Amino acid sequence: MMEDKAAKIKTLILDVDGVLTDGRITINDRGEEIKSFHARDGLGLRLLMNAGIDVIIITGRKSEVVAHRARELGIKEVYQGIKDKGALCKKLMKQKQLEKDQLCCIGDDLPDLPVFHLAGLSIAVADAAAEVRHAAGIITKNEGGKGAVREACEILLKTRKTWEEALSPFMKKKN
């Protein structure tokens, strides 16, 4: 049951390209990488962290843009240039004493599958590779970089029955 799975989640691991972004990689004439992030994804991650769920980024590419965005959001653990995401995930699970059912993963492509197999709850973005969608417990309606992460955060918070609490700072009426 989804409520039971969501209630146990302590840590969210997510990819960047194709998850927090639309997967396109733009490089300017100076060789600088440019990425676009959806603002609502960022707020969703902040709401999740405020609810006590740790967020970890694991990505296969290296980019100062990703480090900058993570700092902006308050994500303290960012692992870039990772070729074997599964091995790193196992190491982090051991360090943090996380059980499978305490881990959620959001991904979009084949390098994310090893983490999907280690996580108790795996979420694929709508435009993920077919193999990733097939392995996922949840498939978002939104595509990567277009609100999929926010949607996943809402799913987690709503199934944990903490969505209303997460909204409360925004719902106060001013006199």
Q: Give the position of tokens 């795996």.
A: 122
Bridge partners (DSSP) of residue 127 are none
Domain boundaries, the chain: 2-164
Question: Could you tell me the mean pLDDT of each successive run of 10 residues in the chain, 175 residues long?
Answer: 82 97 93 92 96 96 94 97 97 97 97 97 97 96 97 94 87 72
Of 34, 29, 111, the closest CA to residue 68 belongs to: 34
Q: Give the position of tokens 């097939």.
A: 134
Query: d(Cα 94, Cα 24) in Å, to the nearest integer?
Result: 33
Residues 6 or more apart in contact with residue 92 via CB below 8 angstroms = 11, 13, 56, 77, 98
Of 82, 130, 136, 85, the closest CA to residue 106 belongs to: 136
pLDDT score at 157: 94
pLDDT score at 135: 97
So what's the architecture of 2-164 in CATH?
Answer: 3-Layer(aba) Sandwich (3.40)
- Find the distance separating the first CA and the last CA of the chain, reported in whole Å: 42
pTM of the predicted model as reported, rounded to 2 decimal places: 0.93
Give me the numbers of helices (H) and strands (E) for the chain, helices first please.
8, 8
The encoded tokens of residue 108 equal 């979009």
